[in-house]
Amino acid sequence: MSRNAAIGRYYPVPSSLHDLDPRTKLVALVVYLVSVFVAQGFAGLLLPVAALSFLMALSNVPVKYVLRGLKPILVIVVVTDIFNIFFVDDGLKKAFVMTLRMVETIWGSNVLCLTTKPRDVSSGIEKGFGWMKRLGVPVHDFATMISLAFRFIPILSTEASRIMEAQKARGANFERGGLIHRAKALVPVVVPLFVSSFKKADDLAMAMDSRLYGSCDSPTRFRPFVYGHCDFVAYSIMFVYVVLFVLARVFPCHLT
């Protein structure tokens, strides 16, 4: 079950990365993503890779598992690469930069998801965007929505494979035929899946209502956020990273 939903799956192993406060990890992700997108030059592009390799070593999550999370973007990467290489001036270089950026983005987000419980990710977001509550934005509800979405990914993917088995037993074939044939074969899977997700959403809403969701203006947290000294170390490393990055930006060594 957890195999076919490798994106966003928490990988529970003890590690210093797992123990970090989710706020720290979210800030790190933002710093990292900004660096990926403003990167220029060879050093600028490779710095995020170096940082990620370091984080992966810290995380104790098997490399294989992290890389599996990159599979879904493989198609997009290949298509844009072909497009760039054949139709764009200086395409090879652009394709290289683009590929690196996409891989770095997904890879980085994966490292966060693998080492942080979905509920912590969403609470971290809630905390980070807490100031928007004063503007009337329902931050708590958004955060809850995100964590529920994470919880229901494996449940719905199990449901989908169950429906597919049932349709196979009735003679459906999802492996053979052209693209259109296969897409058509999926219709009797998607429709019942929609119906059952609505039912689930309805049940879940009732269960949450009956457990007093929304009854209190300031819901509390069972696991309050506390910064440990690991977090201070992490912020220091981030600072060094930013400095290195700015240096790489100021003194670029260009690809060509």
Partner 1 sequence: MTPLIELKDVSFSYSTGNGSVEALSGLNLSIDDGSFVAIVGSNGSGKSTFAKLLNALIVPSSGSVVVDGLDSHDKSNVYAIRSKVGLVFQNPDNQIVSDTVEDDIAFGLENMGLGVDEMKRRLEVCLSLTGLAALRHCSPDMLSGGQKQLVAIAGILAMQPKCVVLDEATAMLDPNGRRMVLGLCHRLNHEIGMTVVLITHHMEECIDADRVVVFDKGHLAMDGTPREVFSNAPLTRSLGFKLPPVTELAEHLISSGIDIPHGILTSEELCSALKAAYAREVHSKGVHANEVHAKGSSAKVVHDV
Least distance from partner 1 to the Cβ atom of residue 22, Å: 13
Closest to partner 1 by CB, 177 vs 219, is 219
Nearest approach, Cβ of residue 28 and partner 1 (Å): 22
Confirm if 147 and 119 have CB atoms less than 8 A apart. Answer: yes
Rank residues 84 and 147 by Cβ distance to partner 1 and give the closer one: 147
Alpha helices in the chain (DSSP H): 16-19, 22-38, 41-59, 63-68, 74-87, 91-115, 118-128, 139-169, 179-210, 229-250
Which tokens hold the place of 124? 């971290």
Q: Residue 26 or residue 185: which is nearer to partner 1 going by CB? A: 26
- Quote the DSSP letter at residue 130: G
Residue 112 CB, nearest approach to partner 1 (Å)? 15
Q: Residue 206 or residue 255: which is nearer to partner 1 going by CB?
A: 206
What length does the chain have?
Answer: 256
Least distance in Å: CB of 208 to partner 1?
A: 6
- 211-216 own/partner pairs: CB under 8 Å, 24+ apart: 213/144
| Whole-number CA gyration radius for the chain | 22
Query: Closest separation between CB of residue 154 and partner 1, Å?
Result: 6
Quote the distance between the C-alpha of residue 130 and its chain's center: 21
The Cα 76–Cα 73 span in angstroms is 5
Rounded to an integer, what distance in angstroms lies between the CA atom of residue 15 and that of residue 19? 6
* Footprint on this chain of partner 1 (rule: CB under 8 A): 1, 10, 12, 117-119, 147-148, 150-151, 154-155, 199-200, 203-204, 206-224
In the complex with partner 1, the residue whose CB is nearer, 206 or 243, is: 206
**Shortest reach from residue 14's CB to partner 1, in Å:** 12
In the complex with partner 1, the residue whose CB is nearer, 82 or 149, is 149
